[in-house]
Amino acid sequence: MSDVFCVGLVFSRDQYRYRTYARLYVEALLRLQKTVAIFSPNWIELNNYLHTHFRDQAKRIHCFAVDESNSESNKVAKMSFLLRQLALSRRLHQAERSMQTKIDFVFFAPVDDWIKPKFGKGLFDWAFPYNWSGLLINMLPYEENGLKLNVDPKYGESDYLFTSKNCVGVCTLNRFSSEALKSRVYKKVVVMPDLSELDLPETTSKIAQQIRKMAKHKMIVGTILLEEENPENFLALANEAPFEEYFFVCAGSLDASFLSERSRDILSQILSSGRNNNYFMLNNLEESEDINDILCTFDVCYLNDGDFQLPHPLLTKAAHFSKPVIGSKRDMIGKLVQTFNTGITVNGSVNESINALATMRYQMPFEKNFDLSKLKNYAQLQSQEALRDAWEMLLLF
């Protein structure tokens, strides 16, 4: 491993996924005996969490503020993009003075917010003089009819800045297109695990007990809204599936501004129906222990449509807790579920989803009739051990 003493982690988005990655990346790097500088929009919360959970290593953890950004870098003007890189460099230099140590390597999550197709790599190296890598989310250019493979990236193509001398490699969550990416950048490509916090509370919550009590003999089908997901198909399923066979749980914020008109209509029908085969917790869930506690009440975990280029944030949790899933066959969810056989994929129609539930119900109890080893295999690929291996590979440059 190269002589990397201090790693800078730059998180430009404040979503459940990236808050989780921040916590677990820091834990992995501490195990590798690294000092870590974290730049995040929610740096105060992160600082409190890390210094509470890693008190004995607090001297190696430093948190700093950075503005949140979800804008596409290729839409930013060149001068604005340059000023942004210079501002970040200054921010890192200020952090170095505060820590009294040099940042040897910078990791962007996601890197999409920090690269631009039409920007000179020489100018980029000058503006941002740090060894760097990052988590690339937009992998669509490497799918069919996208970028030509086995050729050098050209100026103006989405991966052009990965050829800069300071870029030591690229990371991705998309294991299906990693080889295509590698064929162009001619640098190491690391498939990062889709990590999730998996701790449970010391005692089962009253809510979890209530869900099990209300469900009685019914199969519990549940979902938890952690990011900006579309719950329309789940709501339609909960509204039309046989009442006597299934109990539906939906936890998380159902913000009316994000719901389609059809979703609002279906939700209204469910809540006014008088049926007692559903349970809604219409508030944000922030603590992973609470999320995991609720998920453990499910027999089957339903994965709503979300960012189709990313694994669903419940997929790793479901695998770890041995919960088969139902999810869309159209996107990354479908590829992962079909490849690792962790459940059933559907096309979004209510009838197909009801049939999928019936298939699952016939296999209960799952410990006898469902191959749970497939779930364990997927969970292992997304484990802390897999993350440690990924970081060790990435830091070899």
Task: With beta carbons less than 8 A apart as the criterion, state whether 144 and 180 touch.
Answer: no
Whether cis (ω within 30° of 0) applies to the bond prior to 242 is no
The CA-to-CA distance between both ends of the chain, in Å, stands at: 7
Task: With beta carbons less than 8 A apart as the criterion, state whether 14 and 69 touch.
Answer: no
- φ and ψ at 231, to 5 degrees? -90, 15
CA angle 198, 199, 201 (to 5 degrees): 140
Tens digits of pLDDT across the chain (397 residues)? 468 999 999 999 988 999 999 999 999 999 999 999 999 999 999 999 999 999 999 999 999 999 887 667 777 889 999 999 999 999 999 999 999 999 999 999 999 999 999 999 999 999 999 999 999 999 999 987 678 999 999 999 999 999 999 999 999 999 999 999 999 998 999 999 999 999 999 999 999 999 999 999 999 999 999 987 889 999 999 999 999 999 999 998 887 777 888 998 999 999 898 889 999 988 888 789 999 999 999 999 999 987 788 999 999 999 999 999 999 887 889 999 999 999 999 988 899 999 999 999 998 888 888 889 999 999 999 999 999 999 999 999 8
| Separation CA 168–CA 30 (nearest Å) | 21
| Separation CA 120–CA 155 (nearest Å) | 8
Would you state the pLDDT for residue 366?
87
Task: Report the amino acid identity of residue 17.
Answer: R
- Strands of the 132-136 sheet, one edge to the other: 61-65, 35-40, 6-11, 105-109, 132-136, 169-172, 188-191
Task: With beta carbons less than 8 A apart as the criterion, state whether 371 and 182 touch.
Answer: no
Task: With beta carbons less than 8 A apart as the criterion, state whether 288 and 200 touch.
Answer: no
Would you state the pLDDT for residue 305?
86
Q: pTM of the entire structure?
A: 0.94
Domain map (residue ranges) of the chain: 6-195+383-394, 206-381
Structural fold of domain 206-381: Rossmann fold (3.40.50)
Would you state the pLDDT for residue 71?
65
Tokens of 270: 């469910």
Please state which CATH number belongs to domain 6-195+383-394: 3.40.50
Task: With beta carbons less than 8 A apart as the criterion, state whether 29 and 128 touch.
Answer: no
Task: Report the amino acid identity of residue 123.
Answer: L
| Separation CA 21–CA 204 (nearest Å) | 26
Within this chain, domains 6-195+383-394 and 206-381 share the same CATH topology: yes
DSSP secondary-structure letter at 152? Answer: P
